[in-house]
Amino acid sequence: MLFFLLLLLVGPSWTQAAAPAAVQLAHLRCELLTNPEGIDATAPRLSWELSSPARGLAQTAYQLLVASTPEKLAADEGDLWNSGKVGGGQSGLVAYGGAPLRSRTRCYWKVRTWTTQGESGWSAPARWSMGLLNYLDWKGRWIGLDHAFAWDKEESHARLSARYFRKEFTAAKVVTQATASIIGLGLYELYLNGQRVGDQVLAPGPTDYTQGVKYNTFDVTALLRPGANAVGAVLGNGRFYAMRQNYKPYKIKTFGYPKLLMQLDVTYADGSHEVIKTDETWHATADGPIRTNNEYDGEEYDATKEMPGWATAGFDAKSWLKTELVQEPGGAYEAQMNENMRVMETLKPVALKPLAGGKFILDMGQNMAGWLRLRATGRRGDKITLRFAETLQASGELYVANLRDARVTDVYTLRGGGRETWEPTFVFHGFRYVEISGYPGTPTLADFDGRVVYDDMATTGEFATSNATINQIYRNAYWGIRSNYKGMPIDCPQRNERQPWLGDRTTGAYGESFVFDNSRLYAKWLDDIAQAQKADGSIPDVAPAFWRYYGDNVTWPGTYLTIADMLYQQFGDAQPIAKHYGSMRRWLAYMRANYMTDNNIVTKDKYGDWCVPPESAKLIHSQDPARNTSGEVIATSTYYHMLTLMQRFATVLGKPADAQEYAALGAKIKDAFNQKFLNAQTAQYSNNTVTANLLPLAYGLTPDAERGKVFQNITQKILVENTGHISTGVIGTQWLMRGLTAEGRPDIAYKLATNRDYPSWGYMAANGATTIWELWNGNTADPAMNSQNHVMLLGDLLIWYYEDLAGIKAAAPGFSQLEMKPALIDGLTSVKASYKSVRGEIRSSWQREAKRFTWNITVPGNVKALVYLPAKDAKDVTEGGKKASDVAGVKFLRMEGDRAVFEIGSGEYAFVAKM
Ligand code: RAM
């Protein structure tokens, strides 16, 4: 079959348009994947994927057409843009270059490509529409109810009821197009004629609302009807009206009462337009069923207060108030380009146990973030109370000490008269267990569902090995990451914190990018960070800065740079680098001016190697100087690494003078660092912790002649002093697995990865963890800071899984080139992984027997890969049963130590190597 296709491909008819197109164009997409409505980039970027059953498919040119109507596009008329035939292999993030795009313009587009296997023909059409680009495109006024009501409480455990807004209008003519644009702060639900608009939850994405707000856009044409219509919106508090009012105002930001700006742009069949918009004619109430909604404390819903039909025409709103016109929030109105949250999975609970006092404990079998949906039958006014926790006490009761003062309690009051189903609207919880009290009758497992809530992004990676501990840790990491994507990456989903701490993601974001398509989330987060930067250049440790933590250390704010670098490498996107370069430059200059000595040592650090395994089981932070790494070592080496990143960025942006400036400063720091911290006799850095020796190795600070000896100190420390265990915290762990592997000891990395005793990721799993803990000793430490669902201690573990175990590593930005070089480790006999890169799916599945290495590989279209097979000689390698170097499309390049290196293009390959 394959042979037949190959013949067909080289046949003369192939380039004719009439020939069956074996070059497929898939996953055509515009900048925003999940919702093509309402883009505000004036040059949106277009991407596509190529595939073909044949090998070695590479693009040589493309042509893009963008039209203002589907008909024009079908007639191959790119009235907005015809790129013409553009040579080259770029298949992603091609910036629109046509006629200027105005607000609400609908754009229809397609692409065709020329490839090494002929022409693809035109792709299926795709579409996007422009949002409201100008401030004055927003015709409405900001509305709200700018005060608390008798049933609200404005204190440290704030209670504020949801606010409901409604407006009726008449569609006098036939509607051909209707678009809703909404900024509902803190959180909104939008209804048209009683129907929910979209399936997003907890929208829009959180920002510092004094700096910028996100709008969402929906095509609602199908929801309008001729004649009387009604639009309704509910506002919840989210981060806007903060959870703790009048409490630590110096630290916790609040923004006032919820507020709404929305408009409905309607186009009629006769070509006329109408805008339905928020203004003083709307009505409002805060006396609906959602009595309070507080992300930390929970939601209370009283179904006896429901207002049936409130979002449909004809509802009697006599008791409703006139809405108030209120102040607008600060900053720009930005189209939300990152995904909204959604219910991404529904989990069935695994156990339900009675407790004294008519209470029950429900076990989801998995630590998760989201909420519980319940079904019940009871009397009007019966109250069901749900409390959430990650673990249980020995008594079987919830363990809530580690939630600090978050009350995490949802209350549902039944309306009575039949089976009722309820789930909250404006909160989420981090939990595995739920305490249920007041349930009418006896609950059963079938009465509950766990609703897993996070950003609506695709899972891009799969990973399994022959080692069960690694597989369990991978699963725990997967659950931890999805728990903590909440329109921003937060540290934890359960206690009274849930803050977007930068340092938790410095390297984590890169590892996560294999598992989830997090490109839009992190691009948005860089904007949050930029908005949080102070005029002098200072960058906080938390952004958006809901908590005001400006600490001027290097490690947490440095995440601004590492994530821009990640987006470039993993997704091929240089735009964040270009956009943020100036702010990064200002931050580095600010840090240098304020915290660098004349001898080029950076003195300011705040968190050290956060959360190293401490000397006693109860401790959160080690007090032992031998376990902790000097702040100056961490700050200076990290600053040096930042300069390396800036050199790369300056080069990408074509700023050679900047690159030189950073290189020159880097050279000075390197000398100063080694002079001050490297012991010439022992080749130990500072106090010889793994982190102190590892950072200079990883960052390229160590003189070549000393590298071997410095590394010796690391292996000695791990294998002998720590008897094969990890001793690093958040900082050191970011380089540990890759560092050990790059220096030739993947076996030590494997030991750390598969340990099941303390301290290790496996220890967490062995002690019941279904996510990753904040602390290595998370089962014994003081509850004051002991989340069971943090991702920061993952360090570079996921990168190591994919790059070093599976051999899926980008050798050029955006995976246009791949390096496939799996580490060979005794005891690890197989790895099976896949990763949906921006160019298509990469697969790597290998098995190792005593003298044989079997490796199945899939390389997507338009990608070249270097594959490193373990063999003494190229002739010991076969592909598809034939000597590999004789197979067309498989090119032997060279021997590198114990590896035979081949180059391959796209396609599926079955290699076998005699070792
Ligand atoms: C705690 C958490 C968080 C970390 C900060 C420094 O609040 O552990 O994840 O980044 O401290």
Whose CA is closest to atom 2 on ligand 1?
491
Q: How far apart are the CA of 779 and the centre of ligand 1, in A?
A: 18
Does 300 sit in the ligand 1 pocket, CB within 6 Å? no
Residue 627: both structure tokens together: 């376990």
Query: Where are the CATH 2.60.420.10 domain residues in the chain?
Result: 813-914
Whose CA is closest to atom 9 on ligand 1?
491
List pLDDT tens digits, range 158-168. Answer: 999 999 999 99
Does 876 sit in the ligand 1 pocket, CB within 6 Å? no
Share of the chain above pLDDT 70, in %: 97
Q: How far apart are the CA of 146 and the centre of ligand 1, in A?
A: 34
Does 119 sit in the ligand 1 pocket, CB within 6 Å? no
For residues 526 and 543, what is the distance between their CA atoms, to the nearest angstrom? 9
In sequence order, which ranges of 430-574 are alpha helices (DSSP H)?
Answer: 468-484, 508-515, 519-532, 559-571
Give the pLDDT of residue 13: 29
Does 879 sit in the ligand 1 pocket, CB within 6 Å? no
Closest among 783, 688, 766, 774 to 730, alpha carbons compared: 774
Q: In degrees, to the nearest 5, what angle opens at C-alpha 586 toward C-alphas 585 and 587?
A: 90
Best of 491, 547, 733 to mutate for ligand 1, by most ligand atoms within 8 A of CB? 491
Q: How far apart are the CA of 736 and the centre of ligand 1, in A?
A: 20
Q: How far apart are the CA of 849 and the centre of ligand 1, in A?
A: 44
- Mean per-residue pLDDT, 404-419: 98
435: part of which helix (H) or strand (E)?
strand 429-437
Strand partners, 82: 65
Does 510 sit in the ligand 1 pocket, CB within 6 Å? no
Confidence at 9, pLDDT banded by 50, 70, 90: very low
Give the pLDDT of residue 11: 27
Whose CA is closest to atom 8 on ligand 1?
774
Give the pLDDT of residue 792: 98
Q: How far apart are the CA of 580 and the centre of ligand 1, in A?
A: 25
CATH classification code of 461-806? 1.50.10.10
Strands in 45-51's sheet, in edge-to-edge order, are 24-30, 45-51, 94-95
Give the pLDDT of residue 286: 98
Q: How far apart are the CA of 341 and the centre of ligand 1, in A?
A: 23
List pLDDT tens digits, range 586-614. Answer: 999 999 999 999 999 999 999 999 999 99
- For residue 33, is pLDDT > 80? no
Q: How far apart are the CA of 144 and the centre of ligand 1, in A?
A: 35
Give the pLDDT of residue 32: 56
**Alpha carbon separation from 604 to 68, 227, 556, 592, 635 (Å, rounded):** 55, 66, 12, 10, 7
Give the pLDDT of residue 25: 86
Q: How far apart are the CA of 533 and the centre of ligand 1, in A?
A: 19
- For residue 23, is pLDDT > 50? yes
Peptide bond into 186 cis (omega under 30): yes
- For residue 19, is pLDDT > 60? no
- For residue 1, is pLDDT > 80? no
Share of the chain above pLDDT 90, in %: 95
- For residue 683, is pLDDT > 70? yes
List pLDDT tens digits, range 313-334. Answer: 999 999 999 999 999 999 999 9
Whose CA is closest to atom 1 on ligand 1?
785
**Which atom of ligand 1 is closest in space to residue 504's alpha carbon?**
10
**Alpha carbon separation from 634 to 187, 328, 638, 671 (Å, rounded):** 39, 43, 6, 16
Confidence at 26, pLDDT banded by 50, 70, 90: confident
List pLDDT tens digits, range 712-739. Answer: 999 999 999 999 999 999 999 999 999 9
Whose CA is closest to atom 10 on ligand 1?
501
Axis crossing angle, helix 519-532 with helix 559-571, rounded to the nearest 10: 150
Q: How far apart are the CA of 491 and the centre of ligand 1, in A?
A: 7
For residues 257 and 354, what is the distance between their CA atoms, to the nearest angstrom? 41
Choosing among 1.10.1200.10, 2.40.50.100, 3.40.640.10, 2.60.120.260, the CATH entry for 138-338 is: 2.60.120.260
Q: How far apart are the CA of 290 and the centre of ligand 1, in A?
A: 32
- State the DSSP string of 176-240: EEEEEEEEEESEEEEEETTEE-SS-BSBS----TTTEEEEEEEE-GGG--SEEEEEEEEEE-TTT
**Which atom of ligand 1 is closest in space to residue 556's alpha carbon?**
10
For residues 790 and 774, what is the distance between their CA atoms, to the nearest angstrom? 5
Does 334 sit in the ligand 1 pocket, CB within 6 Å? no
For residues 88 and 81, what is the distance between their CA atoms, to the nearest angstrom? 19
The sign one gets for the Cα dihedral 676, 678, 684, 685 is positive
Whose CA is closest to atom 4 on ligand 1?
501
List pLDDT tens digits, range 116-130. Answer: 999 999 999 999 999
Best of 251, 504, 777, 786 to mutate for ligand 1, by most ligand atoms within 8 A of CB? 504
For residues 608 and 87, what is the distance between their CA atoms, to the nearest angstrom? 50
Does 609 sit in the ligand 1 pocket, CB within 6 Å? no
Does 491 sit in the ligand 1 pocket, CB within 6 Å? yes
Best of 610, 731, 776 to mutate for ligand 1, by most ligand atoms within 8 A of CB? 610
Give the pLDDT of residue 15: 31
Are 793 and 506 contacting, i.e. CB atoms less than 8 angstroms apart?
Answer: no
Q: How far apart are the CA of 501 and the centre of ligand 1, in A?
A: 7
Closest among 586, 681, 692 to 638, alpha carbons compared: 692
227: part of which helix (H) or strand (E)?
strand 227-236
Q: Which amino acid is at 784?
A: A
What b/e string do you get for 207-223 counting C-beta neighbours within 10 Å, with b at 16 or more? bbbebbbbbbbbbbeeb
- For residue 291, is pLDDT > 50? yes
Domain 813-914 in CATH 2.60.420.10? The answer is yes
Q: How far apart are the CA of 780 and the centre of ligand 1, in A?
A: 18
Beta strands 864-870 and 817-820 are parallel
Query: Where are the CATH 1.50.10.10 domain residues in the chain?
Result: 461-806
Q: How far apart are the CA of 607 and the centre of ligand 1, in A?
A: 9
Query: Where are the CATH 2.60.120.260 domain residues in the chain?
Result: 138-338, 342-455
Are 733 and 796 contacting, i.e. CB atoms less than 8 angstroms apart?
Answer: yes
The CATH class of 4-129 is mainly beta
List pLDDT tens digits, range 374-390. Answer: 999 999 999 999 999 99
**Which atom of ligand 1 is closest in space to residue 610's alpha carbon?**
6
Q: How far apart are the CA of 765 and the centre of ligand 1, in A?
A: 21
End-to-end CA distance of the chain: give it in Å, rounded. 31
- State the DSSP string of 440-457: SS---GGGEEEEEEEE--
Domain 342-455 in CATH 2.60.120.260? The answer is yes
Q: How far apart are the CA of 864 and the centre of ligand 1, in A?
A: 41
Whose CA is closest to atom 6 on ligand 1?
607
Task: Please classify residue 461 by burial: count the beta carbons closer than 10 Å to its beta carbon, then call 0-12 exposed, 13-18 middle and 19+ buried.
Answer: buried
Beta strands 332-335 and 212-219 are parallel
Closest among 517, 516, 541 to 528, alpha carbons compared: 541
Query: Where are the CATH 2.60.40.10 domain residues in the chain?
Result: 4-129
Does 792 sit in the ligand 1 pocket, CB within 6 Å? yes
- For residue 27, is pLDDT > 90? no
Q: How far apart are the CA of 334 and the centre of ligand 1, in A?
A: 29
For residues 565 and 803, what is the distance between their CA atoms, to the nearest angstrom? 17
For residues 781 and 277, what is the distance between their CA atoms, to the nearest angstrom? 54
- State the DSSP string of 373-404: EEEEE--TT-EEEEEEESEE-TTSSEE-GGGT
Confidence at 37, pLDDT banded by 50, 70, 90: confident
Confidence at 31, pLDDT banded by 50, 70, 90: confident
Are 112 and 121 contacting, i.e. CB atoms less than 8 angstroms apart?
Answer: yes
**Which atom of ligand 1 is closest in space to residue 502's alpha carbon?**
10
Peptide bond into 396 cis (omega under 30): no
Does 89 sit in the ligand 1 pocket, CB within 6 Å? no
Residue 541: both structure tokens together: 């440790």
> 434 by DSSP, 3-state: which?
strand
The sign one gets for the Cα dihedral 83, 85, 90, 92 is positive
Does 581 sit in the ligand 1 pocket, CB within 6 Å? no
pTM to 2 decimals?
A: 0.96
As a whole number, the mean pLDDT across the chain is: 95
Residue 374: both structure tokens together: 């319940």
List pLDDT tens digits, range 733-782. Answer: 999 999 999 999 999 999 999 999 999 999 999 999 999 999 999 999 99
Torsion of CA 758, 761, 765, 767, to 10 degrees: 20
* Residues contacting residue 670 through CB under 8 Å, at least 6 positions apart: 640, 701
**Which atom of ligand 1 is closest in space to residue 611's alpha carbon?**
8
Pick the more confident residue, 282 or 39: 282
Counts of helices then strands in the chain (DSSP H, E): 15, 46
- For residue 16, is pLDDT > 90? no
Residue 768: CA count within 13 A, CB half-sphere: 12
Give the pLDDT of residue 20: 40
Confidence at 22, pLDDT banded by 50, 70, 90: confident
Q: How far apart are the CA of 610 and the centre of ligand 1, in A?
A: 8
List pLDDT tens digits, range 87-146. Answer: 999 999 999 999 999 999 999 999 999 999 999 999 999 999 999 999 999 999 999 999
Whose CA is closest to atom 5 on ligand 1?
501
Q: How far apart are the CA of 292 and the centre of ligand 1, in A?
A: 28
Best of 499, 556, 791 to mutate for ligand 1, by most ligand atoms within 8 A of CB? 499
Does 774 sit in the ligand 1 pocket, CB within 6 Å? yes
Does 435 sit in the ligand 1 pocket, CB within 6 Å? no
